């Protein structure tokens, strides 16, 4: 049996969220504590590929957003809720989410 080593990381341990362009690989990095203003196009002026098409629906709902956008919002909410839970212990959940990564 081969032992597997994995990094287990909680959402509150995320230090950087990076968005990488699929075309030119340029990256924008954010602290998870800052509100991510997702650009509609790649910030590289030589690329400008579409990152986040504008929603054409008149009244877009939360579920109209692509999963990657919803994930960014969810990470932000988890961190906001953590602060609320720290202030009010009756809201405390009996678990936390851990994300696993293979060691490189």
Residue 42 in the binding site for Zn ion (CB under 5 A): yes
Residue 23 in the binding site for Zn ion (CB under 5 A): yes
Residue 44 in the binding site for Zn ion (CB under 5 A): yes
Where does this chain touch Zn ion (CB under 5 A) — which range of 16-24, 51-59, 63-71, 93-101?
16-24
Q: How many CB atoms lie within 10 A of CB 72?
A: 19
**Distance separating alpha carbons of residues 41 and 54, to the nearest angstrom:** 10
Give the largest CA-CA distance in the chain.
56
List contacts with Zn ion (CB under 5 A). 21, 23-24, 42, 44, 47
């Amino acid at each position: 049996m081969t032992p597997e080593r994995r990094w287990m990381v909680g959402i509150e341990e995320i230090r950087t969220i990076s968005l990488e362009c699929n075309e030119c690989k340029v990256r924008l990095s954010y602290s998870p504590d800052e509100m991510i203003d997702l650009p509609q196009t790649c910030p590289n002026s030589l690329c400008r590929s579409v990152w986040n098409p504008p929603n054409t629906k008149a009244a877009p709902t939360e579920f109209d957003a692509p999963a990657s956008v919803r994930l960014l919002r969810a990470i932000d909410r988890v961190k906001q809720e953590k602060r609320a839970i720290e202030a009010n212990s009756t809201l405390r959940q009996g678990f936390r989410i851990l994300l696993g990564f293979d060691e490189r």
